[in-house]
Amino acid sequence: MTKHALLDAAEAVLSEHGTQALTLNAVADRAGVSKGGLLYHFPSKEALVKAMVARVIEEFDDLIGAHLAEHDDGTPGAYSRAYVEATFEILTGEARAYRRWSAITAAATDPEQAEPLNAAMRRWHGRAPAEDADPVAATVVRLAAEGLWEVVSHAPELYDEEQLAALKRRLLDLLG
């Protein structure tokens, strides 16, 4: 059993049953491993939550980096475009939209656990807006993408593939 499969199980428990249900026993049961097997990788619930938060941050950083590498031609707004592309890649990917919601929910009860995600948010949204042709529009676009991620995390059926594609095009168009 890999760490990623155990994290997937923890996210599924949270998504399906809520914060109170996130116990080591529930995660082990969901993953189909013994509690000892889970404890081998994550010696405590806190370690499990910390790993969930770290994975969300790493995944989004990697996606932004990949989109920047692919499309950064020096024109203003490359970071904001990469942010939107990464967000929509997650929103249209297999069950990844609820990953961040699960990590936030799990970390919400402990400010120390939430701090890495808070720091990532400050970094993602605090990136020099002057890089964009219209810094205010770039901020609005990033916040809209953030809000859409939140909504889709709670109601994935709300927007179909065509609607998400139209929203993505519009957000990218707003960046110029």
* Options 1.10.357, 1.20.120, 2.30.30, 1.10.3660; CATH of 51-174: 1.10.357
Q: How does pLDDT run across 102-118, given as a tens digit for each residue?
A: 677 777 778 888 889 88
Domain ranges of the chain: 1-43, 51-174
Model confidence pLDDT, tens digit, residues 101-159: 667 777 777 888 888 988 998 998 887 666 788 888 899 999 999 999 888 877 888 99
Cβ-based neighbours of 174, under 8 Å, separated by 6 or more: 137, 140, 141
Determine the average pLDDT of the residues in 58-86: 88
Residue 7 has pLDDT above 80, yes or no: yes
Selecting from 1.10.10.60, 3.40.50.720, 3.90.950.20, 3.40.50.300, what CATH number does the domain 1-43 have?
1.10.10.60
- Per-residue HEC secondary structure of 112-173 comes to HHHHHHHHHHHHHHHCCHHHCCCHHHHHHHHHHHHHHHHHHHHCCCCCCHHHHHHHHHHHHH
